[in-house]
Copies of this chain bind each other. A is one copy, B any other.
Amino acid sequence: MLEKTNQVNLLFDFYAPLLKGKQREYLELYYLDDLSLGEIAEMHEVSRQAVYDHIKRAEKQLFEYDQKLRLAQRHEKRMEVLARMSELVNELAEGETRDELNTLLHQLSEMD
C-alpha cells in the first residue's frame, strides 16, 4: 500500500493538471492529505462509494497518462544523470566554472 501511495503521489505531481475537478480533488485529499474515504464523503456530503469511484477512476487516469507520456520514468533517468554530473563537477578545481555548473545543475533538477 505504501508503495502504491508513493507511486500515485509521484504521478500526481506530473499529471494532476490533466485530471478533472472531483477526481483531482478527492485523490488529493485521499493520497496527499491522507484523509479516509469516510472523511472525504462527509466533507463533501456524498456517499463513500462515490468518493471511492472518483478516486479509482483518477488513479486509472494517472497510470494511463503515464503509460502514454512516461514523464515519471524520464524524470527519474534525468535525475540519475544529474546526480552523476554533480559528482563529476564537484571533483573539478574550485572556481567560477565549477560554481556556475553547480548552479545550472541545481536549476535543472528544480525544473524537473
Chain A residues within 8 Å of B, Cβ to Cβ:
14-15, 17-18, 65, 68-69, 71, 74, 77-78, 81-82, 84-85, 88-89, 91-92, 97, 100-101, 104-105, 107-108, 111
Question: Are B91 and A97 interface neighbours, CB within 8 A?
Answer: yes
Question: Are B108 and A81 interface neighbours, CB within 8 A?
Answer: yes
Question: Are B81 and A101 interface neighbours, CB within 8 A?
Answer: no
Contacts of A105 in B (CB 8 A): 85
Contact of A111 among B65, B78, B92, B111 (CB under 8 A): B78
Question: Are B101 and A89 interface neighbours, CB within 8 A?
Answer: yes
Interface-centre pick from A71, A74, A104 (highest chain B CB count, 10 A):
A104
